Amino acid sequence: MRRAWVVAAFAALVILLAVGLTLDPREVPSPLIGKPAPAFDLPLLHAPDKTFSQKDMLGKVWILNVWASWCPPCLVEHPVVTALAKSGLAPVVGLNYKDAREDALPWLKRNGDPYLPTVFDATGRIGIDYGVYGVPETYVIDRRGVIRYKHIGPLTPEVARDKLEPLLKELNRAG
Amino acid sequence: MRASLLALALLVGPALAQDPALEKRVTGLAHELRCLVCQNQTLADSNAPLAVDLRNQIREQLAQGASEREVVDFMVARYGDFVLYRPPLKASTLALWIGPFVLLLAGALLLWRRIARRRVPEPQLSDAEHARAAKFLE
């Protein structure tokens, strides 16, 4: 009887610790899910005299991808972002975060530019509004301008296939 | 040497030279908020670029007349409760707050029961041993 208790307590501890190991403490759940995408009106990376706002995307399902030329994981995820943009499921807007134009523009030239436009957030102020704390970060925003999903860290083909694509299809269908 | 010190003073100066009362409030708040890049540090302790940005954000908002409460709400709206270095007491964090005390109580209860149950057996001595003991005591 006593042994059964000890075994049960030990098993409970093992399960608790095992679950703890599978959680990633770096993945902080965003309070922005289900909330309207924070407003911005930022200059374009390619054309400093033109601006672009999240309002320009109202009525469309779209992806906001936060990237920077100084961020190695952004380079890693770039083929996935490119494939997503090419899939036609949703346009991808780039948010160039705390970068310099003379670094960001050659980076796009070297690695390809999948972005509908890229907006230029030199100070990172809009990044704060979106709760960005580690580039790259990716948001899915629906037709009404509500954030539906956030991915922190580089997009992998698995995340794109299992999470983003089904969600984008569903949102596109929802009309 | 003097030139480099002067350069340093010029760089650091504007941030430090500002209203010391404001800086005190900024530092006070920065100690209450978590740096999301290096998660076990507060914003005050961290020199990560995001921590610097967020400290500047705190300073800007306080300077514009925001209250401490408003700045904290601003941060929580963007980064969630996780940004609070001391987690708030609410339903989802109840286990975190009272868990240790429950465990302590359970441990104490278990210990008390075991001690209460433990009976020291009466020493059973044979007649020969009694006789020996009596001899020692003489």
Interface pTM (ipTM) of the complex?
Answer: 0.80
pLDDT tens for the 138 residues of chain B, in order? 455 555 554 455 455 556 888 999 999 999 999 888 877 889 988 888 899 999 999 999 999 999 999 999 999 999 988 889 888 888 878 888 899 999 999 999 999 998 888 877 777 888 888 888 888 887
Q: Is the pLDDT of residue A20 over 50?
A: yes
Greater confidence (B38 vs A61) lies with A61
Phi and psi torsions of A149, nearest 5°: -160, 150
Q: How far away is chain A from the Cα of B70, in angstroms, using its nearest Cα?
A: 15
Residues 6+ apart with CB under 8 A from A70: A99, A103
For position A93, what pLDDT does the model report? 97
∠A33-A56-B70 over CA atoms, to 5°? Answer: 45
Q: What is the DSSP letter of A89?
A: S
For position B13, what pLDDT does the model report? 45
State the Cα–Cα distance between residues A143 and A86, nearest whole angstrom. Answer: 19
Closest listed residue to residue A40, CA positions, set A52, A58, A50, A57: A52
A31 touches chain B (CB under 8 A): yes
- Tell me the CA distances in angstroms from B127 to A37, B51, B132, B138, one per residue in order: 91, 81, 9, 17
Cβ atoms within 10 A of the Cβ of A133, count? 24
The tens digit of pLDDT for each residue in A125-154 reads: 999 999 998 899 999 999 999 999 999 999
pTM passes above 0.80: no
A35, A66, A128: best to mutate for the B interface, most B CBs within 10 A: A128
Chains A, B: CB pairs < 8 Å: 37
Question: Is the torsion defined by CA of B89, B94, B99, B102 positive or negative?
Answer: positive
Interface contact flag, B37 A30, Cβ < 8 Å? no
A103: Cα separation from own chain's centroid: 21
B chain contacts of residue A129, beta-carbon cutoff 8 Å: 78
Least confident of A53-57, A167-171, B2-6, B59-63: B2-6
Q: Is the pLDDT of residue A46 over 60?
A: yes
Between B53, B57, B78, which is nearest A131 by CB? B78
Highest mean pLDDT among A2-6, A29-33, A96-100, B33-37: A96-100
Residues 6+ apart with CB under 8 A from B55: B26, B30, B43, B44
Q: What is the rounded average pLDDT for all residues in chain A?
A: 93
Beta strand A62-67 with A137-141 is: antiparallel
